[in-house]
Structure 1
Amino acid sequence: MIHTALLSYGMSGRVFHAPFIHLHPNMQLIGAWERSKQLIQNDYPDLTSFESLEALLADNRVELVIVNTPTNTHFEYAKKALLAGKDVVVEKAFTTTVEEAEELKTIGEKVGKKIAVFQNRRWDSDFQTIKQVIDNQLLGTITEMEIQYARYTPSLSPKLHKEIPNPGAGIVKDLGPHIIDQALCLFGKPQSVFADFRVTRTGSQVEDYFEILLYYKDKRVRLKAGYFMREPVPSYIVHGTNGSFLKSRADVQEGLLLKGVKPDITNWGEEPESEQGLLHTETDGVVIRETIPTLKGNYFEFYNKVYEALAHDKPMPVTVDEGILVMQIIDAAYKSNAARKVVDL
């Protein structure tokens, strides 16, 4: 059993972590650090509400720590957990700088503890389907791709750590890591980066719109997010030498989790058929234009792989090196936006 504790029990702890750890047959949730409200025992009466980080790290039962606090605290808390002899899972964005990410890697290697970055969106139904289409070469050689988060949220977030300027604030480090990581999963490290950031909402003090262009030798990948996109458009647009694939962002897992549905139902992660992606391509001289079934999403796979890594010395599902590469892209994007030019990696 991997005995695990959370560093907060807000939305991320309640929705994205606790249900999966609690139901996992080889993991045991010990409790969470709760600063003001003691809420975890409302859902899990037998668990511990830790009054301080020090108390949680001093508990010898705790082997794995989930750093699911605001981004600007990730480095400090992950470092303390590693030095206390705990393995760690760190939410996105991994850290606020490349240097912090690299230092965590060095510390982890020195103390012999493992680090994973929580990139659950790799196990979204839509991304799993996109990856299958590309891996099966249904489009031929990929020439370009666009991934975007299209939202209509003109109001500022009540979470002040997202809106008040600090090293972890802004949409680039909030939504950016999800789609940067997905691009890297599909195509690896790009050669260079160009980025354009904007402030669009009334009263916003941080960037709330971005376009990031990843340059590869044989393709371009455009990443985009903003808060003034009322009409839904395909979140994934992939073009290749044989055809195209368009897919909405329709994974159902977050919506179900927010409603309190536990991830142990038989149809967990199944999208409605109405959200199937459109495949328009040519195979063996035959042109086809049809929707194709969407694969199931399943965030459980992240924690299955964390268990395998800790119990059987397998690689973490999202490695520290992959986390560092995402931070390198983010760092290059900030430099590009500031200089208004392409930045080589």
Structure 2
Amino acid sequence: MTLTMGIIGFGKSTNRYHLPYITLRKNIRVKSIFNLRRKPESEKNYTDFNIHFTTDLDSFLNDSDIQLVTICTPASTHFEYAMKCLEYGKNVLVEKPFCATVEEAKKLLEIAEKKGLMIMPYQNRRFDGDFLAVKKVLNDGYIGEPIELESHFDYFRPDNSVYHGSPVDGTFYGLGVHTMDQVISLFGRPKHVSYDIRSIRNSESIDDYFDVSLFYGKLKAIVKTSHLVKKEYPKFILHGTKGSFIKYGIDQQENDLKLGIMPGTDDFGMDSPNQYGIVTYQNANGDWIEKQIPTPTGDYGRVYDACYETIINGAPKLVSNDEIMTNIEILEKGGMQPSPSTISLD
């Protein structure tokens, strides 16, 4: 059975993170794309896929063939578009962030449940190769009970221009939404959260730095982003009762996509062996072992595979409602708190 879908928005996100993966799926078809303005030059790239491009939202949403709509528009429009899609009886996948507030998230989830529809954020970073390596180390028991996980998503962009906007336009909502989702998918809802969110390049701008800790009792998970990191820091640092795991280098899918190397080509998204993570652990004889962990190859298209299974076969959602609400609550409260600060989620 084929899942027929449409997309709202036709910018970088659609062309880089969605269509290259969807068009490889034999059981998913993109029938139509709505955008406020037509982009004929970009549209030519999809001539072979027989996609209809339109600026008429009502005709797009009234198409009864379309079962799933992906929303790839600016963050401030996500709630409005998602609500409209649900009202028209469409299942919905929303680019990050899902929405701006807990109140908005509750409304969307409640309406989807009443209508028997799926709505979910596009948490594609669950299928980053570096994160999949962390999951493997945890699942295989190399480091015993996890005690501390540190996750970095850093850049060196010394631009001190002023960028205005609300918290939803800042770095914490833009990148923290991904790194926190990875943590929440592993460990669930934290007991406490501490925040350090600010702008370090220009104090008049929206945030470009965050250092946020999620506390789970003995375990602490740290998610951190800065736009002023020139020397590479490990992407993941994981410590446990029996050892440690260190991984440098981000997932290679994005680097390949930026170069025009598409999913389905040989070696797409594959990590270099010199970037494989190193686990240091004690074996059954008490000897300390240092071992490379080959990075699993990531695939953002697996989000769409999960959507297919949920919509067509009734499988549980990849990102549960509890995970969605926890993520949005932490994001929203981060924008409301003076920084630094600590809150309880109990």
User: Could you state the TM-score of these two structures normalised by the residue count of structure 1?
Assistant: 0.93
| Residues 100-115 of structure 1 mapped to structure 2, 5 A cutoff | 100-115=104-119
Could you say if the C-alpha distance between residues 201 and 217 of structure 1 is closer, same or farther in structure 2, counting changes exceeding 3 Å? same
CA distance in 1, matches of 2:217, 2:203: 40
Could you say if the C-alpha distance between residues 339 and 228 of structure 1 is closer, same or farther in structure 2, counting changes exceeding 3 Å? closer
| From 66, 69, 75, the counterpart of 1:62 | 66
Residue pair 1:152, 1:230 contacting (<8 A) in 2 also? yes
CA distance in 2, matches of 1:230, 1:59: 49
Q: What SS class does the counterpart of residue 89 from structure 1 fall into?
A: strand
| Residues 73-222 of structure 1 mapped to structure 2, 5 A cutoff | 73-155=77-159, 163-166=163-166, 168-202=168-202, 205-222=205-222
Could you say if the C-alpha distance between residues 61 and 260 of structure 1 is closer, same or farther in structure 2, counting changes exceeding 3 Å? farther
CA distance in 1, matches of 2:139, 2:249: 19
Q: What SS class does the counterpart of residue 249 from structure 2 fall into?
A: coil
Residue pair 1:117, 1:319 contacting (<8 A) in 2 also? no
**What is the total number of aligned residue pairs between the two structures?**
340
Residue pair 1:248, 1:275 contacting (<8 A) in 2 also? yes
Q: What SS class does the counterpart of residue 154 from structure 1 fall into?
A: coil
CA distance in 2, matches of 1:327, 1:104: 13
Residue 330 of structure 1: aligned partner: 331
Residue 22 of structure 1: aligned partner: 23
Q: Any gaps of 5 or more consecutive residues in structure 1? A: none
Residue pair 1:195, 1:334 contacting (<8 A) in 2 also? no
Shift in Å, 1:156: 6.8
Q: Deviations over 1:166-203 (max 9, x none)?
A: 35210010001110001111211110111011112237
Q: Deviations over 1:263-284 (max 9, x none)?
A: 1124333111111111112121
Q: Any gaps of 5 or more consecutive residues in structure 2? A: none
CA distance in 1, matches of 2:10, 2:169: 20
Could you say if the C-alpha distance between residues 339 and 259 of structure 1 is closer, same or farther in structure 2, counting changes exceeding 3 Å? closer
Q: What SS class does the counterpart of residue 14 from structure 2 fall into?
A: helix
Q: What SS class does the counterpart of residue 168 from structure 2 fall into?
A: coil
CA distance in 1, matches of 2:307, 2:242: 37
CA distance in 1, matches of 2:159, 2:30: 35
CA distance in 2, matches of 1:219, 1:342: 16
Identity across matched positions, percent: 32
Deviates more, 1:4-13 or 1:56-65: 56-65
Residue pair 1:115, 1:320 contacting (<8 A) in 2 also? no
Residue type matched to 1:258 in 2?
A: K
Q: Deviations over 1:110-168 (max 9, x none)?
A: 122111210111111100000110111101111111111111112379xx9xx431352
Residue 253 of structure 1: aligned partner: 253
Residue pair 1:82, 1:107 contacting (<8 A) in 2 also? yes
CA distance in 1, matches of 2:205, 2:339: 20
Q: What SS class does the counterpart of residue 13 from structure 2 fall into?
A: helix
Residue 298 of structure 1: aligned partner: 299
CA distance in 2, matches of 1:266, 1:304: 21
Q: What SS class does the counterpart of residue 77 from structure 1 fall into?
A: helix
Q: What SS class does the counterpart of residue 213 from structure 2 fall into?
A: strand
CA distance in 2, matches of 1:173, 1:52: 30
Moved over 6 A (4+): none
Shift in Å, 1:2: 1.1
Shift in Å, 1:24: 0.7
Shift in Å, 1:76: 0.6
